[in-house]
Structure 1
Amino acid sequence: MRIIDAHHHVWDLAVRDQDWIAGPELAPLRRDFTLADLEPEVRAAGVSATVLVQTVTVAEETPEFLALADGSDLVAGVVGWTDLTAPDVDHTLASLRELPGGERLVGIRHQVQGESDPQWLLRPDVRHGLAAVADAGLAYDLLVLPHQLPAAARAAALHPELTFVLDHVGKPPIAAAELEPWAERVRALAARPNTVCKLSGMVTEAAWATWTVEDLRPYAKTVLDAFGPGRLMFGSDWPVCRLAATYGEVVDAAHELTHDLSPDERADIFGGTAARVYGI
């Protein structure tokens, strides 16, 4: 079974600060994390390809990531960032494709979770940008909080030509052991056929020091039932996952949560869905 890690990050603090890494709880992340750090972890876990995902809303990061992918036999795709509200977003996307590594641009993401407007995805200028992403043949990664899921579902309905990829199962309150209203909202998103979901980011939504696979299971089952294996993809969320688990522990948890599925279903989650959605 070919395993693709559909969601990880890297950063070099000498190149650019990661201003979201603030406070004592996130202090373990305030250091450089490079592909050289990641590679032994993924090789040990049997991962053969990865998708590198943006971390900050800075235009220069995406070309840097594309160049990094261009020189790597591990990074098969890049989910970058560009200003969706810019009038010339279509030209920007075309220009990114022409850069070294531009053929590895597979998606665009914005930290919608940080927007105060719960309807941000439905703004006319944002919708213009989403249409440009679709026209460019790219996917759109959704980084949203549970209260923003209804707007995400509406955006997916309004843009059936665009594939929306829900990151981190929509960030449910796992540490509080609360399923609703997240579960109802995520099922409404999954009802749109142009949506898929990453089985990622759950360990850092759980209690970092004490989580168990059983804590994650109700949330994994919800998205598995809602999206089906053919619309789920595994992601590690490394190095953020290190706040709660090692890379190997995240991979092991995903294997345990999908243990009862058929070999074909597990092959979809651990590689097939990512390969199809991102064109890897």
Structure 2
Amino acid sequence: MRIDAHQHFWLYDSQRDAWITEEMSTIRRNFLPNDISHILKNNHFDGAVAVQADQSHQETRFLVELAQVYKMIKGVVGWVDLRSPQVEQYLADFAQHDIIKGFRHIVEGEQDADFLTTDAFQNGISQLTKYGFTYDLLIHPRHYASTLACVRANPAQKFILDHMAKPAIRTKEFDDWALFIEELSACSNVYCKVSGLATEAEWSNWRVEQFEPYIHHVIRCFGKNRICFGSDWPVSLLAASYEQSVQIVAENLQDFTAEELDMFWGINASKFYNLK
């Protein structure tokens, strides 16, 4: 099964979705599975993982409802208030929906560098482990240290790094990011999505070769059995078509065997998220 491990869907709301700024007008509209289903089929994908874009329990229920209608959604990564004293009850309720595979918090928007290691958040992570849910890491460089501390403190929890931690391709920064990737990949409970790359370069002036050192470093560090593809559609449309997002990655997998390609394009994501 060929899987896009990272897509978003929303009914655009100017207040709720204020993060979509004027320069991002391309995505200031509704995006639903019907808008991508034929593109997935044309690119030989069997389905996708729908990932939260809003931090509310309503968002999680919205994605579950979409999955009940659109079979192309193979799994949901929702949002839950991991810092709430009621987090266990929330997770017990969400566990009734098999389509929910895990959760994510937009940590990159948190100014607290130690957000991931606060007592309340750590309690939430322990509850995810108890219920068998995964956790998507969306972080900013200021969270490197706490991310490493978090995953090391929770070796039984399954983590996956979104967008390769968003390397600063636009400004060609590499060393600090590369060291972080090396240290994080040493934790066997962490996978990595090769996703969302074009938007980290100059949106209208990127070249495929710019992504090579970043993608190859992730492959070297995580190996070929803990990485998977994600488009980050429709956010990716700010800088690239769906086909270009695929091309950016595909051109850096030239030494993969047929079996390794199958793992990258679907098997690894299916294993991580327990997709069916």
Is the contact made by 1:164 and 1:196 (CA closer than 8 Å) also made in structure 2? yes
Residue in 2 aligned with 1:11? 10
Cα displacement (A) at 1:248: 1.1
Tell me, yes or no, if structure 1 residue 200 matches structure 2 residue 216. no
Matches of 2:50 and 2:207 in 1, distance apart? Answer: 27
Tell me, yes or no, if structure 1 residue 52 matches structure 2 residue 50. yes
**Residue type of the partner of 2:5?**
A
Q: Residues 14, 182 of structure 1: CA spacing in aligned structure 2 closer, same or farther, 3 A cutoff?
A: closer
Residue in 1 aligned with 2:249? 254
Query: After the TM superposition, which of the residue ranges 150-159 and 237-246 deviates more from structure 2?
Result: 150-159
Is the contact made by 1:149 and 1:170 (CA closer than 8 Å) also made in structure 2? no
Cα displacement (A) at 1:90: 1.4
Per the normalisation by structure 1, the TM-score is 0.95
Percent of pairs with identical residues: 35
Cα displacement (A) at 1:27: 1.4
Matches of 1:214 and 1:166 in 2, distance apart? Answer: 22
Query: Superposition pairs for residues 104-123 of structure 1, below 5 Å?
Result: 104-123=99-118
Residue in 1 aligned with 2:75? 77
Tell me the secondary structure at the aligned position of residue 169 of structure 1: helix
Matches of 1:231 and 1:6 in 2, distance apart? Answer: 13
Matches of 2:133 and 2:94 in 1, distance apart? Answer: 12
Tell me the secondary structure at the aligned position of residue 103 of structure 1: coil
Given candidates 258, 266, 274, the residue that maps to 1:263 is 258
**Residue type of the partner of 1:3?**
R
Tell me, yes or no, if structure 1 residue 164 matches structure 2 residue 159. yes
Cα displacement (A) at 1:115: 0.6
Tell me, yes or no, if structure 1 residue 231 matches structure 2 residue 229. no
Cα displacement (A) at 1:150: 2.0
Deviations 1:87-124 (A, max 9, x none): 111110111122xxx11101100000011111110000
Matches of 1:97 and 1:126 in 2, distance apart? Answer: 19
Per the normalisation by structure 2, the TM-score is 0.97
What do you get for the CA RMSD once the two structures are aligned? 1.3
Tell me, yes or no, if structure 1 residue 151 matches structure 2 residue 149. no
Matches of 1:97 and 1:50 in 2, distance apart? Answer: 20
Q: Which runs of 5+ in 1 are unaligned?
A: none
Is the contact made by 2:114 and 2:146 (CA closer than 8 Å) also made in structure 1? yes
Matches of 1:65 and 1:214 in 2, distance apart? Answer: 35
Q: Residues 183, 112 of structure 1: CA spacing in aligned structure 2 closer, same or farther, 3 A cutoff?
A: same
Tell me, yes or no, if structure 1 residue 218 matches structure 2 residue 213. yes
Residue in 1 aligned with 2:86? 88
Q: Which runs of 5+ in 2 are unaligned?
A: none
Deviations 1:198-252 (A, max 9, x none): 0001110011111111101111011111101100010000000000100111112
